[in-house]
A and B are shown apart, each in its own frame.
Chain A
């Protein structure tokens, strides 16, 4: 099945710039013998040089409106091994600046692992992650967050003993600065920053109409509200890319519908890219522009919702082999 990746030429229509970047990156990975190409940073494009260009498969697509800008995220040959197990292998993906992308796949396909790699909860065994063109190699989770990736968690990870507002304030940690001494000695800087913390967190909570819950203890909130709070907290870090790990889990259909609206609204308001993992196909097909399908740690397809719904490999991955011929509908 691993060989099939090259077969998915869904992305031939991707923007020229993105494709050429992909080409350079492949050269970097050692396919080309030229030392100069290996040493060159991925970004530099030597237009005058006589490097021999070869066509390479790309598995990525981005929305047309983002095509002339740098993609916010680009993964190249990303992979991690746990012991002998290749949990994620040769993961290639590109996300446009304002794209709402989906990452789906059967249980255990490695979706959350991909999130953990992107946020450096796990250090990748191989491959490159470019965030807004910047290589995140050597960064830890905190630095990645500062660089612009925010996330929520599949099993909710709020600061349970703190209030809703405090949770958001902690999200704003790197947005509003105030040193230890200012806080300890209550210098003017502290009061200024506290006001800013307060105003901005209430503003953010308003996105989910949670301003009234600001004083509640986060751990005591109902499940759905906790999920929403996690999103607010992630947004507070002022990300370029928001990773949502099963945002609709445990929600009823009407809540899910509302969530779909909110996700789109977040993208429109904050002008950021969103990558979400979700099992609720109505949500994924409803709002995701590009969808990547992961199976056994590898992307088996990336395309539009229509492409994915009709892709035989995807159907096989989800339903097993016997149903292959039904794939065409």
Chain B
């Protein structure tokens, strides 16, 4: 049945299939209590990281720009989302609706941040672009470290100085500078994470296989040729960047609302790098690979806990080895020839089997 569809559609259906099957299996196991608390606790972060990986893949893999500040958009979404969720407390009854509103607001806010950052950034290329995204990530972190937001009867209060200068009466502090946000309502669930993955996946896959996506990939493959066929390079680089930022913001909101507290420090350069590692290991531009690598690499450090002190060292070695093995030309060619050999042998066997069955008359 699948064979009748074209290659891209088939590949996309497999991707959706993997996500859906994985969700159903995990949800079933979790409900049956067959998986450990440790893994259950990882489900929502895995969902968030998958969304982040898909969204970063849009910039790094599809648009071909190196971004080192993805965590910045994640944090914008995270803090925006939890403020919105807190504002809806008492107004909107249903948790799911509240979460949805918060995530959408987070996406919108992160998109705005994406436009503000993207406009200047898109004038640059290559490593210079990378360093500027890094710089913006650090700036966002620095600003959030000095952001104070509180809510009382008269509404929201903002300050860039201190919690005391919010001038609130009997309200709650939502974001308390470097202490971050505490007392977050834990609205995120595995199911909502799954839905967000589907949404992210749909947006990105649809985008890739559309006129806009082709223009983005054209710019990646050959900027000058893309210009020469009339594609506005800046516009399409910006579209990829902003969509990616918005999706990262949504994932950030999901992530933040899985914990009761969150600090700006979490969204630093290292987190940006972590997501980048997921993307590169999964294969740049390879959405399905990114999903798998994000899930596995989030679980891996937890699986390595039994090693104790050597855990992160082993993680580093695994990272280096995987990168070398998957990119070393000599090793790859050896692997290919090995695979060829295996296939030939099995082909031979198959041919032999066919031959023996049909009495050696299989070849015309």
Contact = CB atoms under 8 A, between A and B. Distances in A.
A and B touch in the complex (CB under 8 A): yes
A169 B214 contact: yes
A186 B222 contact: no
Interface residues of A, number: 42
A160 B221 contact: yes
With a 10 A CB-CB cut-off, give which of A170, A180, A215 has the most chain B CB atoms: A170
B239 A142 contact: no
Given A159-B221, A162-B221, A215-B7, A183 B210 contact: yes
Nearest to A148: B230
A159 B218 contact: yes
- Residues of B contacting A: mostly: helix
A190 interface: yes
Contact of A145 (B6, B207, B228): B228
Given A157-B222, A158-B222, A180-B207, A145 B227 contact: yes
Contact of B228 (A150, A183, A193): A150
Interface in B36-93: none
Contacts of B225: 153, 157-159
Interface in B205-251: 206-207, 209-215, 217-218, 221-222, 224-233, 239, 243
A322 B212 CA distance: 58
Contacts of B7: 215
Interface residues of B, number: 29
Nearest to A177: B211
Contacts of A186: 206
B218 A151 contact: no
Given A159-B221, A160-B222, A173 B230 contact: yes
B214 to A, nearest CB: 5
A120 B347 CA distance: 55
A201 to B, nearest CB: 11
Contacts, number: 105
B203 interface: yes
Contacts of A176: 211
A185 to B, nearest CB: 7
A141 B207 contact: no
B229 A185 contact: no
A176 B229 CA distance: 13
B221 A150 contact: no
A174 interface: yes
B229 A150 contact: yes
A325 to B, nearest CB: 44
B243 to A, nearest CB: 8
A170 B215 contact: yes
Contacts of A161: 217, 221, 285
B47 to A, nearest CB: 21
A149 to B, nearest CB: 9
Given A171-B229, A174-B230, A166 B206 contact: no
Contact of B231 (A170, A180, A184): A170
Contacts of B232: 142
A114 to B, nearest CB: 15
B207 A159 contact: no
A273 to B, nearest CB: 17
Interface in A70-90: none
A162 B214 contact: yes
A276 interface: no
Contacts of A153: 224-225, 228
A236 interface: yes
A142 to B, nearest CB: 5
A161 B221 CA distance: 7
Contacts of B210: 178, 180, 182-184, 190, 194
Contacts of B226: 159, 170
A98 interface: no
Interface string A174-215: 101111101111100010011001000000000000000001
Interface string B344-357: 00000000000000
Interface string B120-152: 000000000000000000000000000000000
A234 B211 contact: no
Contact of B214 (A140, A157, A170, A185): A170
Interface string B2-24: 00001100000000000000000
A190 B205 CA distance: 14
Contacts of A302: none
A251 interface: no
A141 B227 contact: yes
A103 to B, nearest CB: 17
A145 B222 contact: no
Given A162-B218, A184-B206, 4 more contacts: A150-B228, A151-B228, A178-B211, A237-B229
27 contacts: A121-B227, A140-B227, A142-B231, A146-B230, A153-B225, A160-B222, A162-B218, A162-B221, A166-B217, A169-B214, A173-B215, A173-B229, A173-B231, A174-B230, A178-B212, A179-B212, A180-B207, A180-B210, A180-B239, A183-B206, A183-B207, A183-B210, A184-B210, A184-B212, A186-B206, A190-B210, A236-B229
